């Protein structure tokens, strides 16, 4: 099982296979649309990876700009957007804490399964890193603009079970005024063998074994959405 950093640096194809399997219910876009009307919004996707949220939102909005620290991942995102024949997007390598956009220039900032790494990889200065990222999101948002973040709330569980290493981060977001709720984004695999392969690659041998034992071609997954208006 590679680390998250190794996935982002060298395993975009495997990552894309996995995210294509998640949220077969289509709940992610529904959660966004519960929070904000998309039709006239200029959007930024921070930590866009291979373009998961960008692909969902591009057909709905006038413009979307996708930023990620990994050019390897963004190349995959650009290719998929080209295949969709979308014309309203841009990609660029950037850190969450330094986005190359003007002040108050966008209506909506989204970040999926990414903003947490400012905390996870931030060492003793993790709160400072999160504050810097939050400040940058506020800077580029127009007054009244919205921030929407997605993070995992547990894989292979029967109720929302946030990973312990995210407890401090989740508490930080609550203290910063974010609302939140959990919802289902189950993985649906083409076969049990694919379920075992990908769950082992991303979550480890124990999860792969659990998938086989429970015959989980559909792997339960909970996600938490966080939101805050500027």
Secondary structure (DSSP) of 14-68: HHHHHHHHB-TT-HHHHHHHHH---TT-EEEEET-TTTHHHHHHGGGSSEEEEEE
User: What pTM was computed for the model?
Assistant: 0.95
Number of separate domains in the chain:
1
Residue 213 placed within a domain = no
CATH number, position 132: 3.40.50.150
How crowded is residue 191: how many other Cβ atoms within 10 Å of its Cβ? 9
Distance between CA 103 and CA 128 in Å, rounded? Answer: 21
Residue 165 placed within a domain = yes
Would you say residue 40 has pLDDT above 60? Answer: yes
Distance between CA 49 and CA 77 in Å, rounded? Answer: 7
| Alpha helices, H only, the chain | 4-10, 12-21, 27-35, 52-57, 71-83, 117-120, 126-140, 167-175, 192-203, 205-213
Residue 27 placed within a domain = yes
Residue 32 placed within a domain = yes
Residue 217 placed within a domain = no
Residue 199 placed within a domain = no
Would you say residue 115 has pLDDT above 80? Answer: yes
pLDDT, tens only, 45-97: 999 999 999 999 999 999 999 999 999 899 999 999 999 999 999 999 999 99
Residue 208 placed within a domain = no
Query: Is 54 in contact with 73 (CB distance < 8 Å)?
Result: no
Query: Is 58 in contact with 86 (CB distance < 8 Å)?
Result: yes
**pLDDT score of 118:** 96
Residue 47 placed within a domain = yes
Angle at 222 between CA 221 and CA 223, to 5 degrees: 125
Bridge-partner residues for 5, per DSSP? none
What's the domain range around 150?
Answer: 4-186+223-229
């Amino acid at each position: 099982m590679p680390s998250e950093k190794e996935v982002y640096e060298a395993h975009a194809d495997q990552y894309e296979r996995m995210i294509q399997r998640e949220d077969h219910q289509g709940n992610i876009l529904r959660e966004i649309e519960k929070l904000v009307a998309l039709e006239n919004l200029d959007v930024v996707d921070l930590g866009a990876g291979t373009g998961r949220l960008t692909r969902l939102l591009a057909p709905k909005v006038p413009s979307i700009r996708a930023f990620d620290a990994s050019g390897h991942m963004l190349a995959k995102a650009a290719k998929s957007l080209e295949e969709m024949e979308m014309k309203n997007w841009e990609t660029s390598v950037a850190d969450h804490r330094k986005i190359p956009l003007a002040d108050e220039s966008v209506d909506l900032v989204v970040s999926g399964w990414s903003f947490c790494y400012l905390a996870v990889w931030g060492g003793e200065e993790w709160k400072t890193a999160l504050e810097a990222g939050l400040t940058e999101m506020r800077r580029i948002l127009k007054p009244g603009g919205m921030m929407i973040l997605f993070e995992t709330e547990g894989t292979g569980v029967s109720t929302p079970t946030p990973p312990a290493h995210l407890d401090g981060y989740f508490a930080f977001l609550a203290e910063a005024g974010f609302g939140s709720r959990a919802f289902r984004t189950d993985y649906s695999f083409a076969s049990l063998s694919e379920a075992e392969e990908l769950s082992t690659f991303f979550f480890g041998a124990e999860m792969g074994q659990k998938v086989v034992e429970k015959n989980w071609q559909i792997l339960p997954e909970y996600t938490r959405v966080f939101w805050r208006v500027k």
